[in-house]
Amino acid sequence: MKNFLDTGSSFVATASKNDRRSWRSELLRRLRTLWRLKLTVTTMAITTFLMAYFWVLAHPFFPITVMPLTALDRAIGLRPETLPVYLSLWVYVSLVPALLRSGRELASYGAATLAMSLIGLGIFIVWPTAVPASEIDWSQYPSMSFLKNLDLTGNACPSLHVAFAVFTAIWLERLLREMGTGRALRAFNWLWCAGILYSTVATLQHVVLDVLGGVVLGSIVAAMHLCAVNRGPSSS
């Protein structure tokens, strides 16, 4: 009986090691695939988006609506230490393109993110929004002061920062499951996303209502895109 249990334990341990090697090999294979194209396209996409975002921010066509604060906004307050998490979005959104397997997948993913960007920017054009002005002396927070001078806390609702984080989290969940990475890495994905969502309020870049709008936008676009992908010829 003891020999049988020892053999079973050895088999499970070996299988576990093989699983870890398998998903790590798949991860490296995906990262190496078309990496120059992925890097170029992702860089160009982010740059183009930011140019359009800041143009819309600087040219409101209609009166700006100030988003109301909620009790949760007041409870969270300013948390300057969350700024690195807020800025980590630009690393986070680069992960999915880096893990895609073909130019066709990259084009499809790019089309979905373009659609989400156009929806968000379209909302900002017809309904400009901003977060309430703060009485905080930003000179006491040099890093935060730079962000406030750059972003101006406009283009508030829905938060595209949140929309892209949610869209990325949903897609990463799919890819990590495909690679068989296990629960720990998938949990980290959702924790990273949640941290970004929290940081948008904790840096006073957005209010809770903006976050809710971003969650809705990112979730709907991701669901529609994955539905289209699953119906496509590559899923058969």
77 in any annotated domain: yes
Give the pLDDT score at 92. Answer: 98
How many domains, in total, are found in the chain?
1
Q: Is residue 53 part of a domain?
A: yes
Instruction: Using CB atoms within 10 Å of the CB of residue 166, give its burial: 0 to 12 exposed, 13 to 18 middle, 19+ buried.
Output: buried
* Cβ(34)–Cβ(102) below 8 Å: yes
- Specify if 5 maps to a domain: no
Angle formed by the axes of helices 160-179 and 183-202, to 10°?
180
Q: Is residue 43 part of a domain?
A: yes
Amino acid identity of 142? Answer: P
Q: Which domain holds residue 135?
A: 35-235
**Residue 157, burial from CB neighbour count under 10 angstroms (0-12, 13-18, 19+):** buried
Per-residue model confidence (pLDDT) at position 149: 75
> What was the pLDDT predicted at 143?
79
Distance between CA atoms of residues 1 and 224, nearest Å: 53
> Is 132 a domain residue?
yes
Please report whether residue 89 resides in a domain.
yes
Q: Is residue 25 part of a domain?
A: no
Spell out the per-residue pLDDT of the chain, length 236, in tens: 555 445 444 433 444 455 566 888 999 999 999 999 999 999 999 999 999 999 999 999 999 999 999 999 999 999 999 999 999 999 999 999 999 999 999 999 999 999 999 999 999 999 999 999 888 888 888 878 778 777 777 899 999 999 999 999 999 999 999 999 989 999 999 999 999 999 999 999 999 999 999 999 999 999 999 999 988 765 43
Does residue 204 form part of some domain?
A: yes
What pLDDT is recorded for position 123? 97
